[in-house]
């Protein structure tokens, strides 16, 4: 589904990604771990086309298509979803209007008629329950006045609404207490299917207690330096990242 080959990217002229290679198959959950500044968030931003990042080398194919040929909004409509590490507030724009625009843009892209108001509200209700998102929050402006946990739930709620084929969860666990973490993780698990894939980007093992990865990668200094099964996450939790640096001779 996703094939990343020798991906290099810069921000403000500084090279952050220095040759990433990664393949994600349908139904797989990949965890990408790594110390601060290793390039985890850059990777997710590059995949969704954030304009601040410049791809200098390499290729990414998504569902056999050149990902970079698509604008950020078309990447979304092609089925890539990013759960932001820091979801922004958009005052004045209600969640309902926001989601309705998003859903209808996706439908238009796929040659479908816009959802009727009642069908849309029904869908909202249904998906809200997946992450226990309060109806009051759904009526508020996008992320405005949401707590950290509510923002992350809101991300997973949007993911449920848009039903992406590839979801990237960028440090979704940061800033969450253990209860919120469980709710969010359960939401992600409910949305799992044999055709959908997930990339979980995280510092810590604890999210992976709830979302079981098939493959764990360690990203360090702009490259994937180690790839293994779920046991790698546990080892990182126990030993930190220093041993990896040592293995690399640093």
Q: Which residue number, 140 or 226, has a Cβ lying nearer to other proteins? A: 140
Closest CB to other proteins among residues 188, 218: 188
Asked if residue 62 lies in contact with residue 166, where contact means CB atoms within 8 angstroms, the answer is yes
Q: Which of residues 73-102 bind other proteins (CB under 8 A)?
A: 73, 75-77, 81-82, 84, 87-88, 90-94, 97-98, 101-102
Beta strands at 53-62 and 65-66: parallel, antiparallel or unpaired: antiparallel
Q: How many CB atoms lie within 10 A of CB 157?
A: 25
Tell me the C-alpha distance between 108 and 182, whole Å.
34
Q: What is the gyration radius of the CA atoms in the chain, in angstroms?
A: 18
Burial class (CB in 10 A: 0-12, 13-18, 19+), 15: middle
Q: Is the CB of 131 or the CB of 216 nearer to other proteins?
A: 131
Within 125-184, the residues that bind other proteins by CB under 8 A are: 141-142, 158, 162
Q: Does 193 bind other proteins (CB under 8 A)?
A: no
- Is residue 229 at the binding interface for other proteins, with CB under 8 A as the rule? no
How far is it, in rounded angstroms, from Cα 18 to Cα 51? 18
CB of 241 to other proteins, least distance (A): 29
Q: Is 219 helix (H, G, I), strand (E, B) or coil?
A: strand
Measured from the CB atom, the residue of 87 and 187 that comes closer to other proteins is 87
Q: Give Cα separations from 31 to 91, 136, 233, 241 (angstroms).
A: 33, 33, 8, 15
30: tokens are: 């990949």
Tell me the number of residues near other proteins by CB under 8 A. 37
Query: If binding is defined by CB under 8 A, does position 49 make contact with other proteins?
Result: yes
Q: Supply the minimum distance, in Å, between the C-beta of residue 76 and other proteins.
A: 4
The three-state secondary structure class of 194 is: coil
Q: Is 120 in the site for other proteins (CB under 8 A)?
A: no
Residues that bind other proteins (CB under 8 A): 48-52, 54-57, 68, 71-73, 75-77, 81-82, 84, 87-88, 90-94, 97-98, 101-102, 105-106, 109, 141-142, 158, 162
């Amino acid at each position: 589904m996703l094939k990343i080959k020798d991906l290099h990217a810069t921000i403000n002229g500084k090279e952050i990604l220095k040759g990433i290679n990664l393949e994600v198959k349908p139904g797989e959950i990949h965890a990408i771990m790594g110390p601060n500044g290793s390039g985890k968030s850059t990777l997710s931003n590059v995949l969704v086309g954030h304009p601040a990042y410049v791809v200098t080398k390499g290729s990414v194919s998504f569902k056999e298509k050149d990902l970079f040929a698509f604008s950020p909004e078309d990447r979304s409509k092609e089925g890539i979803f990013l759960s932001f590490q820091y979801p922004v507030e958009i005052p004045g724009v209600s969640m309902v209007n926001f989601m309705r625009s998003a859903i209808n843009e996706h439908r238009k892209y796929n040659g479908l008629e816009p959802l009727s108001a009642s069908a849309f509200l029904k869908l909202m209700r249904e998906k809200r329950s997946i992450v226990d998102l309060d109806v009051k929050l759904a009526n508020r402006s996008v992320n405005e006045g949401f707590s950290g946990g509510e923002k992350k739930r809101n991300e997973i709620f949007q993911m449920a609404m848009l039903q992406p084929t590839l979801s990237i969860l960028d440090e979704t666990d940061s800033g969450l207490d253990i209860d919120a973490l469980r709710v969010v993780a359960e939401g992600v698990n409910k949305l799992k299917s044999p055709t959908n894939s997930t990339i979980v980007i995280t510092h810590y093992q604890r999210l992976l207690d709830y979302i079981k990865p098939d493959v764990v990668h360690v990203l360090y200094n702009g490259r994937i330096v180690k790839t293994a099964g779920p046991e790698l996450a546990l080892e990182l939790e126990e030993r930190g990242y220093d041993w990896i640096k040592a293995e690399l001779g640093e």
